[in-house]
A = this chain, B = another copy of it.
Protein backbone atom coordinates (compact mmCIF):
# COMPACT_ATOMS: atom_id res chain seq x y z
CA UNK A 1 0.00 0.00 0.00
CA UNK A 2 1.17 3.47 -0.93
CA UNK A 3 2.22 5.61 2.02
CA UNK A 4 -0.04 8.31 3.42
CA UNK A 5 0.44 10.82 6.20
CA UNK A 6 -1.13 8.37 8.66
CA UNK A 7 0.69 5.71 10.62
CA UNK A 8 -0.86 2.79 12.42
CA UNK A 9 1.33 2.99 15.50
CA UNK A 10 0.36 6.61 16.04
CA UNK A 11 -3.31 5.68 15.70
CA UNK A 12 -2.90 2.88 18.21
CA UNK A 13 -1.07 5.21 20.59
CA UNK A 14 -3.91 7.72 20.28
CA UNK A 15 -6.22 5.42 22.19
CA UNK A 16 -4.10 5.82 25.29
CA UNK A 17 -4.60 9.60 25.20
CA UNK A 18 -8.29 9.93 24.29
CA UNK A 19 -10.76 10.10 27.17
CA UNK A 20 -12.47 6.67 27.32
CA UNK A 21 -15.87 8.39 27.11
CA UNK A 22 -15.23 8.73 23.36
CA UNK A 23 -13.83 5.24 22.80
CA UNK A 24 -15.47 1.85 22.39
CA UNK A 25 -18.62 3.30 20.89
CA UNK A 26 -21.51 0.91 20.18
CA UNK A 27 -21.20 -1.28 17.10
CA UNK A 28 -24.24 -3.43 16.48
CA UNK A 29 -26.50 -4.88 13.87
CA UNK A 30 -29.84 -3.18 13.23
CA UNK A 31 -32.07 -5.79 11.63
CA UNK A 32 -35.15 -3.61 11.03
CA UNK A 33 -32.98 -1.19 9.03
CA UNK A 34 -31.37 -4.05 7.16
CA UNK A 35 -34.73 -5.63 6.37
CA UNK A 36 -35.91 -2.39 4.83
CA UNK A 37 -32.72 -1.84 2.83
CA UNK A 38 -32.16 -5.38 1.59
CA UNK A 39 -28.75 -5.84 3.17
CA UNK A 40 -27.33 -6.45 6.62
CA UNK A 41 -26.74 -3.09 8.33
CA UNK A 42 -24.51 -2.50 11.31
CA UNK A 43 -24.24 0.83 13.02
CA UNK A 44 -21.13 2.36 14.51
CA UNK A 45 -22.70 4.91 16.83
CA UNK A 46 -20.69 8.05 17.53
CA UNK A 47 -23.45 10.11 19.13
CA UNK A 48 -23.57 8.64 22.64
CA UNK A 49 -20.92 10.83 24.26
CA UNK A 50 -20.77 14.30 25.82
CA UNK A 51 -20.49 16.13 22.49
CA UNK A 52 -22.67 13.84 20.40
CA UNK A 53 -20.19 13.40 17.57
CA UNK A 54 -16.96 11.52 16.79
CA UNK A 55 -14.93 14.74 16.91
CA UNK A 56 -13.93 14.30 20.55
CA UNK A 57 -11.57 11.51 19.52
CA UNK A 58 -9.45 14.01 17.61
CA UNK A 59 -9.75 17.01 19.90
CA UNK A 60 -8.52 14.95 22.82
CA UNK A 61 -5.27 14.45 20.92
CA UNK A 62 -5.09 18.12 20.01
CA UNK A 63 -5.67 19.33 23.56
CA UNK A 64 -3.24 16.82 25.01
CA UNK A 65 -0.57 17.95 22.55
CA UNK A 66 -1.13 21.61 23.35
CA UNK A 67 -0.67 20.97 27.05
CA UNK A 68 2.47 18.95 26.47
CA UNK A 69 3.85 21.76 24.27
CA UNK A 70 3.11 24.33 26.96
CA UNK A 71 0.62 26.15 24.77
CA UNK A 72 -2.36 27.95 26.24
CA UNK A 73 -4.74 28.71 23.40
CA UNK A 74 -6.11 27.36 20.16
CA UNK A 75 -8.44 28.55 17.44
CA UNK A 76 -10.37 26.54 14.89
CA UNK A 77 -13.01 26.99 12.24
CA UNK A 78 -15.88 24.62 12.74
CA UNK A 79 -19.19 23.68 11.23
CA UNK A 80 -20.16 23.13 14.85
CA UNK A 81 -19.07 19.70 15.97
CA UNK A 82 -15.30 20.21 15.96
CA UNK A 83 -15.68 23.41 17.96
CA UNK A 84 -17.87 21.71 20.51
CA UNK A 85 -15.46 18.83 20.90
CA UNK A 86 -12.43 21.11 21.12
CA UNK A 87 -14.17 23.20 23.77
CA UNK A 88 -14.94 20.03 25.75
CA UNK A 89 -11.38 18.70 25.52
CA UNK A 90 -9.83 22.08 26.33
CA UNK A 91 -12.03 22.93 29.31
CA UNK A 92 -10.62 20.29 31.60
CA UNK A 93 -7.09 21.24 30.63
CA UNK A 94 -7.29 25.00 31.19
CA UNK A 95 -6.86 25.91 27.53
CA UNK A 96 -8.47 28.93 25.88
CA UNK A 97 -10.50 28.06 22.81
CA UNK A 98 -11.78 30.30 20.05
CA UNK A 99 -14.17 28.81 17.55
CA UNK A 100 -15.08 30.53 14.31
CA UNK A 101 -18.30 29.35 12.75
CA UNK A 102 -20.80 30.38 10.14
CA UNK A 103 -23.76 32.24 11.56
CA UNK A 104 -25.87 29.79 9.56
CA UNK A 105 -24.63 26.82 11.60
CA UNK A 106 -27.32 24.98 13.61
CA UNK A 107 -28.13 26.98 16.71
CA UNK A 108 -27.75 23.94 18.96
CA UNK A 109 -24.12 23.58 17.91
CA UNK A 110 -23.37 27.25 18.51
CA UNK A 111 -25.11 27.19 21.89
CA UNK A 112 -23.15 24.16 23.02
CA UNK A 113 -19.83 25.73 21.95
CA UNK A 114 -20.66 28.74 24.11
CA UNK A 115 -21.93 26.62 26.99
CA UNK A 116 -18.66 24.71 27.04
CA UNK A 117 -16.79 27.96 27.65
CA UNK A 118 -15.26 28.65 24.24
CA UNK A 119 -15.17 32.09 22.67
CA UNK A 120 -17.40 31.91 19.59
CA UNK A 121 -16.96 34.23 16.64
CA UNK A 122 -19.53 34.08 13.87
CA UNK A 123 -18.83 34.99 10.26
CA UNK A 124 -21.44 36.15 7.79
CA UNK A 125 -20.70 33.44 5.27
CA UNK A 126 -20.04 29.76 4.96
CA UNK A 127 -17.49 27.41 6.46
CA UNK A 128 -14.75 28.51 4.05
CA UNK A 129 -15.03 32.10 5.30
CA UNK A 130 -14.81 30.78 8.86
CA UNK A 131 -11.60 28.98 7.90
CA UNK A 132 -10.08 32.21 6.57
CA UNK A 133 -11.01 34.07 9.71
CA UNK A 134 -9.53 31.36 11.93
CA UNK A 135 -6.24 31.62 10.04
CA UNK A 136 -6.24 35.36 10.64
CA UNK A 137 -6.97 35.00 14.36
CA UNK A 138 -4.18 32.45 14.78
CA UNK A 139 -1.73 34.82 13.08
CA UNK A 140 -2.88 37.89 15.04
CA UNK A 141 -2.79 36.17 18.39
CA UNK A 142 0.14 33.89 17.73
CA UNK A 143 -1.80 30.80 18.80
CA UNK A 144 -2.23 27.32 17.42
CA UNK A 145 -4.55 27.02 14.47
CA UNK A 146 -6.35 23.69 14.40
CA UNK A 147 -7.27 22.75 10.86
CA UNK A 148 -9.72 19.88 10.57
CA UNK A 149 -8.51 17.05 8.30
CA UNK A 150 -5.19 18.77 7.59
CA UNK A 151 -3.95 18.41 11.16
CA UNK A 152 -3.09 14.80 11.75
CA UNK A 153 -4.66 14.59 15.20
CA UNK A 154 -8.11 14.99 13.64
CA UNK A 155 -7.46 12.10 11.27
CA UNK A 156 -5.79 9.92 13.88
CA UNK A 157 -8.62 10.48 16.31
CA UNK A 158 -11.19 9.44 13.72
CA UNK A 159 -8.98 6.51 12.77
CA UNK A 160 -9.52 4.99 16.22
CA UNK A 161 -13.07 4.26 15.00
CA UNK A 162 -11.41 2.08 12.39
CA UNK A 163 -9.45 0.19 15.03
CA UNK A 164 -12.67 -0.57 16.87
CA UNK A 165 -14.26 -1.79 13.66
CA UNK A 166 -11.43 -4.15 12.75
CA UNK A 167 -11.27 -5.53 16.29
CA UNK A 168 -14.91 -6.60 16.18
CA UNK A 169 -15.55 -10.31 15.75
CA UNK A 170 -18.35 -9.53 13.32
CA UNK A 171 -17.44 -9.80 9.62
CA UNK A 172 -18.67 -7.17 7.17
CA UNK A 173 -18.11 -6.21 3.55
CA UNK A 174 -18.40 -2.45 3.27
CA UNK A 175 -17.90 0.61 5.46
CA UNK A 176 -19.79 3.76 4.54
CA UNK A 177 -18.15 6.94 5.78
CA UNK A 178 -19.46 10.50 5.51
CA UNK A 179 -17.06 12.65 3.51
CA UNK A 180 -16.47 16.31 4.27
CA UNK A 181 -12.95 17.58 4.86
CA UNK A 182 -11.78 14.00 4.89
CA UNK A 183 -10.47 13.39 8.40
CA UNK A 184 -12.93 10.60 9.15
CA UNK A 185 -12.69 9.01 5.71
CA UNK A 186 -8.88 9.00 5.60
CA UNK A 187 -8.61 7.93 9.23
CA UNK A 188 -11.01 5.00 9.03
CA UNK A 189 -9.85 4.20 5.50
CA UNK A 190 -6.23 3.97 6.56
CA UNK A 191 -6.98 1.42 9.27
CA UNK A 192 -9.26 -0.64 7.05
CA UNK A 193 -6.78 -0.74 4.18
CA UNK A 194 -3.95 -1.75 6.51
CA UNK A 195 -5.76 -4.24 8.71
CA UNK A 196 -8.84 -5.35 6.75
CA UNK A 197 -8.06 -4.60 3.09
CA UNK A 198 -10.87 -6.86 1.90
CA UNK A 199 -13.44 -4.42 3.29
CA UNK A 200 -14.63 -1.83 0.79
CA UNK A 201 -14.37 1.77 2.04
CA UNK A 202 -16.98 3.97 0.41
CA UNK A 203 -17.11 7.70 1.09
CA UNK A 204 -20.45 9.46 0.80
CA UNK A 205 -20.93 13.15 0.20
CA UNK A 206 -24.01 15.25 -0.64
CA UNK A 207 -24.36 16.04 -4.34
CA UNK A 208 -24.93 19.63 -3.22
CA UNK A 209 -21.47 19.84 -1.65
CA UNK A 210 -19.38 17.57 -3.89
CA UNK A 211 -15.93 19.21 -3.85
CA UNK A 212 -13.96 16.37 -2.27
CA UNK A 213 -15.74 13.67 -4.25
CA UNK A 214 -15.12 15.50 -7.50
CA UNK A 215 -11.51 15.93 -6.43
CA UNK A 216 -11.26 12.22 -5.73
CA UNK A 217 -12.71 11.42 -9.15
CA UNK A 218 -10.38 13.79 -10.99
CA UNK A 219 -7.39 13.04 -8.73
CA UNK A 220 -6.76 16.78 -8.25
CA UNK A 221 -8.24 19.46 -6.03
CA UNK A 222 -11.55 20.66 -7.44
CA UNK A 223 -13.28 23.53 -5.64
CA UNK A 224 -16.90 24.56 -5.95
CA UNK A 225 -18.59 27.94 -5.83
CA UNK A 226 -21.29 26.82 -3.46
CA UNK A 227 -22.17 24.07 -1.02
CA UNK A 228 -25.91 23.62 -0.70
CA UNK A 229 -26.98 20.79 1.57
CA UNK A 230 -28.77 20.14 4.81
CA UNK A 231 -25.71 18.10 5.84
CA UNK A 232 -24.03 21.12 7.41
CA UNK A 233 -21.22 19.02 8.88
CA UNK A 234 -19.76 18.18 5.48
CA UNK A 235 -20.51 21.34 3.52
CA UNK A 236 -17.00 22.39 2.45
CA UNK A 237 -15.94 23.83 -0.89
CA UNK A 238 -12.12 23.86 -0.75
CA UNK A 239 -10.59 20.39 -0.36
CA UNK A 240 -7.11 20.19 1.14
CA UNK A 241 -4.51 18.71 -1.22
CA UNK A 242 -2.71 16.65 1.44
CA UNK A 243 -5.99 15.09 2.56
CA UNK A 244 -7.01 14.31 -0.99
CA UNK A 245 -3.69 12.56 -1.55
CA UNK A 246 -4.40 10.31 1.43
CA UNK A 247 -7.98 9.72 0.37
CA UNK A 248 -6.83 8.59 -3.06
CA UNK A 249 -4.83 5.86 -1.34
CA UNK A 250 -7.34 4.59 1.20
CA UNK A 251 -10.84 5.07 -0.27
CA UNK A 252 -12.24 2.49 -2.67
CA UNK A 253 -14.98 4.78 -3.88
CA UNK A 254 -16.61 8.15 -3.29
CA UNK A 255 -20.27 8.65 -4.16
CA UNK A 256 -22.69 11.56 -4.16
CA UNK A 257 -26.24 11.43 -2.80
CA UNK A 258 -29.28 13.63 -3.23
CA UNK A 259 -30.82 15.71 -0.47
CA UNK A 260 -34.06 13.74 -0.57
CA UNK A 261 -32.13 10.53 0.08
CA UNK A 262 -30.47 12.13 3.09
CA UNK A 263 -33.89 13.06 4.46
CA UNK A 264 -35.16 9.53 3.84
CA UNK A 265 -32.09 8.25 5.63
CA UNK A 266 -32.84 10.49 8.61
CA UNK A 267 -36.38 9.10 8.77
CA UNK A 268 -35.23 5.50 8.54
CA UNK A 269 -32.65 5.96 11.25
CA UNK A 270 -35.39 7.36 13.47
CA UNK A 271 -38.11 4.84 12.68
CA UNK A 272 -36.09 1.67 12.21
CA UNK A 273 -33.17 2.33 14.54
CA UNK A 274 -34.61 4.80 17.06
CA UNK A 275 -31.75 7.22 16.41
CA UNK A 276 -31.92 11.00 16.21
CA UNK A 277 -29.01 12.00 14.01
CA UNK A 278 -27.80 14.96 12.02
CA UNK A 279 -27.92 14.80 8.22
CA UNK A 280 -24.21 13.99 7.82
CA UNK A 281 -24.83 10.83 9.82
CA UNK A 282 -27.51 9.71 7.38
CA UNK A 283 -25.27 9.85 4.30
CA UNK A 284 -24.45 6.14 4.50
CA UNK A 285 -28.11 5.11 4.51
CA UNK A 286 -28.71 7.57 1.67
CA UNK A 287 -26.01 5.81 -0.36
CA UNK A 288 -27.69 2.43 0.13
CA UNK A 289 -31.06 3.92 -0.84
CA UNK A 290 -29.65 5.31 -4.07
CA UNK A 291 -27.89 2.13 -5.15
CA UNK A 292 -29.60 -0.82 -3.48
CA UNK A 293 -28.24 -3.35 -5.99
CA UNK A 294 -24.68 -2.49 -5.10
CA UNK A 295 -25.26 -3.39 -1.47
CA UNK A 296 -27.89 -6.14 -1.82
CA UNK A 297 -27.19 -9.09 0.45
CA UNK A 298 -23.92 -7.61 1.71
CA UNK A 299 -23.07 -6.60 5.27
CA UNK A 300 -22.73 -2.85 5.37
CA UNK A 301 -21.38 -0.77 8.24
CA UNK A 302 -22.47 2.84 8.46
CA UNK A 303 -20.75 5.26 10.79
CA UNK A 304 -23.37 7.39 12.51
CA UNK A 305 -21.03 10.29 13.09
CA UNK A 306 -23.09 12.99 14.81
CA UNK A 307 -26.40 13.79 16.41
CA UNK A 308 -26.49 17.55 16.88
CA UNK A 309 -29.64 18.88 15.26
CA UNK A 310 -31.93 21.81 15.89
CA UNK A 311 -35.09 19.98 16.87
CA UNK A 312 -37.45 22.35 15.04
CA UNK A 313 -35.58 21.76 11.82
CA UNK A 314 -35.39 18.05 12.53
CA UNK A 315 -39.14 17.82 13.01
CA UNK A 316 -39.62 19.39 9.59
CA UNK A 317 -37.31 16.84 7.99
CA UNK A 318 -38.99 13.83 9.51
CA UNK A 319 -42.56 15.09 9.17
Instruction: List chain A positions with a Cβ less than 8 A from chain B.
Output: 20-21, 24-32, 35, 43, 45, 47-50, 52, 112, 115-116, 169, 270-271, 274-276, 307-309, 311
Contacts and interface: CB of A to CB of B under 8 A. Distances in A.
B24 A50 contact: no
B29 A50 contact: yes
Given A48-B45, A50-B29, A274-B307, A24 B24 contact: yes
Contacts of A275: 276
20 contacts: A21-B28, A21-B29, A24-B24, A25-B26, A26-B26, A26-B49, A28-B49, A28-B50, A29-B50, A31-B50, A31-B116, A43-B48, A47-B274, A48-B48, A52-B274, A270-B311, A271-B311, A274-B276, A274-B307, A274-B308
B271 A32 contact: no
A31 B274 CA distance: 22
A52 B43 CA distance: 13
A35 B270 contact: no
A25 B116 CA distance: 25
B48 A112 contact: no
Contacts of A270: 276, 311
Nearest to A22: B28
Contacts of A45: 48
Q: List the 3 closest A-B pairs by CB distance, nearest first.
A: A26-B48, A274-B276, A274-B307
Contact of A115 (B26, B35, B112): B35
Nearest to A48: B26
Nearest to A29: B50
Given A24-B24, A31-B116, A270-B311, 18 more contacts: A21-B27, A21-B28, A21-B29, A26-B26, A26-B48, A26-B49, A28-B48, A28-B49, A31-B50, A31-B115, A32-B112, A32-B115, A43-B48, A47-B274, A270-B276, A271-B311, A274-B276, A274-B307
A24 B45 CA distance: 13
Given A35-B115, A276-B274, A307-B274, A30 B47 contact: no
A306 to B, nearest CB: 10
Nearest to A24: B24
Contacts of A307: 274
A253 B77 CA distance: 48
Nearest to A21: B28
A11 B147 CA distance: 46
A47 B309 CA distance: 20
A32 B48 CA distance: 14
Contacts of A115: 31-32, 35
A30 B27 CA distance: 21
A173 to B, nearest CB: 18
Contacts of A52: 274
